[in-house]
Each structure stands twice: as C-alpha cells, then as structure tokens.
Structure 1
C-alpha cells in the first residue's frame, strides 16, 4: 500500500459495508446497526484503533469480530495477512463476499468463538478485537507474538476502556487506556455468555 492509513480510510466507502436502510447514513461519524444485534463502528474510532495497532506490510493480524468487514478492509490493505473470526455465519459470509469483490486476497475467514482466537495460525504480530470483553482473554494473549500489540475494549456492558496491550520480548504483558468506548459484547467461552 503506497498511501497512509488516513488516505486509505478517506477513500474507503463505508456504504459498501452496509446493506440495509442505514446505508443512507454511512457518511455520519457514528455506529450503525448491521443486523443480528451488531454494529458497524464509528468511522473515526475505526481509524483511531487502526492507527494504534499500526499495521505493517509484514504483519500477520488476528481480528476478532469480522462484522461488516469495514475494519477488516482497513487492516488487510496494510498487513501481509488478516485472520478474521466472526461468530455469526451470515455476517461472515457477507463480509467475505464484499471483501472478495473489492479484490482482497490476503484474508482468511473463520466462523466461531472469537474469544478463543484462532490458535492454529498463531502467534500473531497484532490482534484487533472489535467487541467488548469483561477482561483481557488469556487465550488471546497467548496468541500474541512477543513484541506484538493488541487493541481490545474491556469493561462492563455499556461502557468500556479501549486498551492497547503490549507483549514484550520476554513475554511480559502491559496495557494502557486509550479512551472510553461502548462496543457490543464479545460472546463466547472467554467473553460474555454466548446467549446474551
């Protein structure tokens, strides 16, 4: 990619990732429903999270929560490969179709429990979590390469802290708060209960 994250973000048409009436509001800087109780995140927050993750051309990135594929596209434009996990099959299929039509060939898709990550292909240089966890899942930390970083919202339903988690070369983990956010809940074994 020969442009900056900001330039690509400005060119990325958010309306391509919305297939319901909310497409009319794609230009607004706010989250919008995409069905199944899920949302496409506020564009400025997607940009801020991507900047903090800082995807590089050699990175293998794990994304938890494919959703519409909007964040996936921003990661895949700059990373070597993106491994994205979504628990809702229909959202995963739609994202795969639209990202394929956009020409992305460096994305692998999995339907399953995102709180478990995707250990078969780990460890990863970077991890992007787009749903709120009650705590940082140890399972995801184990899949983070030493020297890697993870962006994850952590807290209670309705209010979380967006954390930048780093694992140093010795395997020690540190985190710092970037901002306060509200995300849908991460469901699964190491997230909130799968049934709500």
Structure 2
C-alpha cells in the first residue's frame, strides 16, 4: 500500500487499524513521522468523516473496502483545493493471521 500514498520525507502519516504493524514500519523508514492506532469498530464510522475533514490540501488517504470472497479493494481519497476525489484501486488478497491453538 505504501506506493499508493506516494510518501516522501516531509510527510506525517496517521495509520489507523495497524494490524501487524508492518506497514507502519515500512512508512517509518520513508516519512517524517508515523502515528499508528488500532481501531475500535464502533468508532470507525465516526472517525472516517472527521479524518476526511482533517485531511490537508494535497493529502492522500488509502481506505480499505469490505472484503468480498477473500479479496479486498482499496480506494485512494485525495483532497485538492477543498475538493475530495475517490479513485478505486486494484483488488488485493490478504493472508489471514492465524494464532496457534493453545
């Protein structure tokens, strides 16, 4: 997902629902700072609207869509001159994280 947001060394990244933290680690080697949070599902819808309001001019956000039949799509959201645009991106498939039985 890193190439989708086109990060550079002056960027500050807020990553939400970090999963294993791999993406945060990759971004930390590229950008100025990374702030990573885990999501509480009940707060996700509320946070989504607020994050779009807080997106700076020229800001980019990659939003995962609900998984369907094992694949998941991403939408690139950009804000330019106060206008928000959405671009559907290709589908991806994540390998589920499995914990060993106790």
- TM-score for both structures, normalised by structure 1: 0.41
Asked if the contact 1:85–1:114 (Cα under 8 Å) also holds between the matched residues in 2, the reply is no
2:78 aligns with one of 166, 170, 174: 166
* 1:115 to 1:182, Cα distance in 2 relative to 1, 3 A: farther
Count, aligned residues: 90
Say whether the 8 Å CA contact 1:153–1:181 is kept in structure 2: no
* Cα drift, residue 175 of structure 1: 1.1
Specify the SS of the correspondent of 1:71: helix
Query: Out of 50, 53, 59, which is 1:139 matched to?
Result: 50
Given that 1:64 and 1:115 are in contact with CA atoms closer than 8 Å, whether structure 2 keeps it comes out as no
Structure 1: which 5+ residue stretches go unaligned? Answer: 1-48, 89-112, 118-136, 184-196
Q: Deviations over 1:40-90 (max 9, x none)?
A: xxxxxxxxx1011111111011101122111100111111011111147xx
Aligned pair partner of 1:151 in 50, 56, 62: 62
Tell me how far 1:114 sits from its aligned partner. Answer: 5.4
CA contact (8 A) 2:67 2:73 kept: no
> Is the 1:160–1:180 Cα contact (8 Å) retained in structure 2?
yes
User: Counterpart of 1:67?
Assistant: 19
What runs of 5+ residues in structure 2 fail to find an aligned partner?
95-102
How far 1:160 moved relative to its partner? 4.1
Give the Å deviation of 1:181: 3.5
Question: 1:54 aligned to 2:17?
Answer: no
1:161 Cα deviation after fit: 2.8
| TM-score, normalised relative to structure 2 | 0.74
